[in-house]
């Protein structure tokens, strides 16, 4: 079997210094799968957690990092009729995108819009599908509702803000840790309508002021423990909160259940990577129909735009991970296979 290059983790888990460019066996597509030669891939916080040994891939999935990519189809497995070699695609995977080649179900790639570059296309799959799932599918956002997005300068956060505006939300409140990030979020076409520095301001109090006491209808949270009480306070009657991560911790020692009961709150955790192939396929198809064609690069004129913080050659993957770990990014971090 032929070999390929891939970013690997020395000894299976470790710090940034454990990442290196090595060689592994090139995958072979099975029935219903396509093999894609990767042009670029996106970085996600789950990559850091997996590299550290804290977030193993789903059962049966390669331990190579990376869940989103863009590239060119090179082979198709038996039964695949919708794709042929040389098709340009972007795609979602359970793992394996930090490599020269990846195999995925034929339902998990979509045709790359011609107006998107390879790096722009690679910034979309996990990023936008996670935001779409959290806000639209689970959060059930409706026109004229109010939305709050935490970790708002992250790739998913920026996507969620724009989707909220796209679906007709009224107030879209972004929280982040620096003035630079908040100013940037307010400056974007289709960006946040309000911004709150959670380190220096009480975001629950700011929500109360902005919504004239009503609260927000949807919260997209990545933070967990430190934001829990204020999130519950911030939610309006019949409010919905989608929890995507637990960056500040997973345990809340004490909280009052009464607001959950009397405000009729809906709180749901959400993951995408561990979902079934049929679920992911349905989500991808809905996103492709409703959203994808509206996305352009940051210099485009789309109703929705993908924003890239920085593009690294994959030979500089340690620097890319360092940038994400230090929480410096406004938008997506991308690596190019060179």
Which CATH number goes with the domain that contains 64?
Answer: 3.90.180.10
- Are residue 210 and residue 237 in the same domain, yes or no? yes
**pLDDT of the residue at 1:** 60
Query: Do 34 and 107 have their domain in common?
Result: yes
- What DSSP state is assigned to residue 229? H
280: in domain: no
Does residue 255 share a domain with residue 141? yes
Interstrand relation of 68-76 and 235-243 (parallel, antiparallel or unpaired): unpaired
Question: What span, in angstroms and rounded, lies between the C-alpha atoms of 39 and 36?
Answer: 9
Q: Are both 245 and 203 inside the same structural domain?
A: yes
> What is the CATH classification number for the domain harbouring 186?
3.40.50.720
Cβ-in-10-Å burial (0-12, 13-18, 19+) of 322 comes to: middle
Q: Which of 210, 244, 269 is the last residue of a domain?
A: 269
Same domain? For 25 and 40 the reply is yes
Q: Is 305 helix (H, G, I), strand (E, B) or coil?
A: strand
Residue pair 178/201 in contact by the 8 Å Cβ criterion: no
Q: Which of 49, 47, 52 is nearest to 334 (CA)?
A: 47
Paired strand residues for 119: none
* Residue 289 belongs to a domain: no
pLDDT in tens, the chain (338 residues): 699 999 999 999 999 999 999 999 999 999 999 999 999 999 999 999 999 999 999 999 999 999 999 999 999 999 999 999 999 999 999 999 999 999 999 999 999 999 999 999 999 999 999 999 999 999 999 999 999 999 999 999 999 999 999 999 999 999 999 999 999 999 999 999 999 999 999 999 999 999 999 999 999 999 999 999 999 999 999 999 999 999 899 999 998 999 999 999 999 999 999 999 999 999 999 999 999 999 999 999 999 999 999 999 999 999 999 999 998 889 899 999 99
Pair 47, 172 in one domain: no
Q: Do the domain assignments include residue 298?
A: no
**Token representation of residue 38:** 């990767």
Closest to 321 measured CA to CA, from 307, 305, 333 = 333
Q: What pLDDT is recorded for position 327?
A: 87
Helix orientation angle between 125-132 and 277-290, rounded to the nearest 10 degrees: 90
- CB neighbours of 224 closer than 8 A, spacing ≥ 6? 243, 245, 246, 247, 248, 249, 250
Q: Is residue 21 within 8 Å of residue 7, measured between CB atoms? A: yes
Alpha carbon 60 to its chain's center: 22
Task: Tally the C-alpha atoms within 13 A of residue 288's C-alpha that lie toward its C-beta.
Answer: 17
Any domain includes 288: no
- Cα 168 from Cα 162, distance rounded (Å): 10
Tally of CB atoms within 10 A around 66: 28
Any idea what DSSP says for residue 137? I
- Whether 287 is covered by a domain: the verdict is no
For residue 149, being part of any structural domain is answered with yes
Give the bridge partners for 171, in sequence order.
Answer: none
Between helix 155-166 and helix 125-132 the angle, nearest 10°, is 50
Residue 277 in domain: no
Q: Which residue from 222, 194, 221 is spatially nearest to 208, judged by alpha carbons? A: 194
Structural domain harbouring 42: 3-123+306-336
Is the domain of 61 the same as that of 84? Answer: yes
Domain check: are 68 and 154 in the same one? no
Q: Which of 248, 171, 166, 164 is nearest to 206 (CA)?
A: 171
148 strand-pairing partners:
173, 219
Number of structural domains the chain divides into: 2
**From the DSSP assignment, how many helices (H) and strands (E) are in the chain?**
10, 17
Kindly state whether residues 10 and 117 are assigned to the same domain.
Answer: yes
Judgement on whether residues 233 and 113 belong to the same structural domain of the protein? no
Distance between CA 324 and CA 48 in Å, rounded? Answer: 9
In this predicted model, what pLDDT tens digit does every residue of 136-194 receive, in sequence order? 999 999 999 999 999 999 999 999 999 999 999 999 999 999 999 999 999 999 999 99
Q: Is 33 inside a domain boundary? A: yes
Same domain, 24 and 96: yes
Rounded CA gap, 210 and 101, in Å?
48
Per-residue DSSP letter, 195: E
CA 46: distance to chain centroid? 10
* Residue where a domain terminates, one of 220, 253, 269: 269
CA distance 129 to 92: 9
Q: Indicate if 89 and 164 belong to the same structural domain.
A: no
């Amino acid at each position: 079997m032929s070999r390929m290059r891939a970013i690997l983790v020395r000894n299976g888990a470790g710090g940034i210094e454990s990442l290196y460019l090595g060689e592994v066996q090139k995958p072979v597509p099975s029935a219903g799968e396509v093999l894609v030669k990767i042009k670029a891939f996106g970085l996600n916080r789950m990559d850091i957690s997996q590299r550290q040994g804290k977030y193993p891939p789903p059962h049966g999935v390669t331990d190579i990092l990376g869940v989103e990519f863009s590239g060119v189809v090179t082979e198709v497995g038996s039964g695949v009729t919708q794709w042929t070699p040389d098709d340009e695609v972007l795609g979602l995977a359970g793992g394996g995108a930090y490599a020269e080649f990846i195999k995925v179900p034929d339902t998990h790639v979509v045709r790359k819009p011609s107006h998107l570059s390879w790096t722009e296309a690679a910034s979309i799959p996990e990023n936008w599908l996670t935001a779409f799932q959290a806000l639209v599918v689970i959060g059930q956002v409706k026109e004229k509702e109010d939305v709050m997005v935490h970790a708002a300068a992250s790739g998913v956060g920026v996507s969620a803000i724009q989707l909220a505006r796209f679906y007709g939300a009224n107030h879209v409140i972004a929280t982040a840790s620096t003035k630079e990030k908040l100013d940037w979020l307010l400056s974007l076409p289709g960006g946040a309508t309000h911004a709150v520095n959670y380190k220096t301001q009480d975001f629950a109090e700011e929500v109360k002021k902005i919504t004239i006491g009503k609260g927000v209808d949807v919260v997209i949270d990545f933070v967990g423990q430190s934001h829990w009480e204020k999130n519950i306070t911030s939610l309006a009657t019949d409010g919905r909160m989608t929890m995507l991560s637990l960056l500040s911790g997973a345990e809340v020692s004490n909280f009052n259940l009464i607001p959950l009961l009397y405000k009729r709150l809906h709180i749901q955790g959400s993951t995408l990577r561990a979902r079934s192939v049929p679920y992911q396929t349905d989500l991808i198809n809905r996103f492709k129909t409703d959203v994808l064609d509206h996305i352009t690069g940051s210099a485009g004129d789309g109703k929705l735009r993908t924003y890239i913080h920085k593009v690294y050659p994959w030979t500089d993957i340690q620097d890319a991970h360092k940038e994400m770990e230090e929480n410096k990014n406004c938008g997506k971090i991308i690596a190019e296979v060179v």
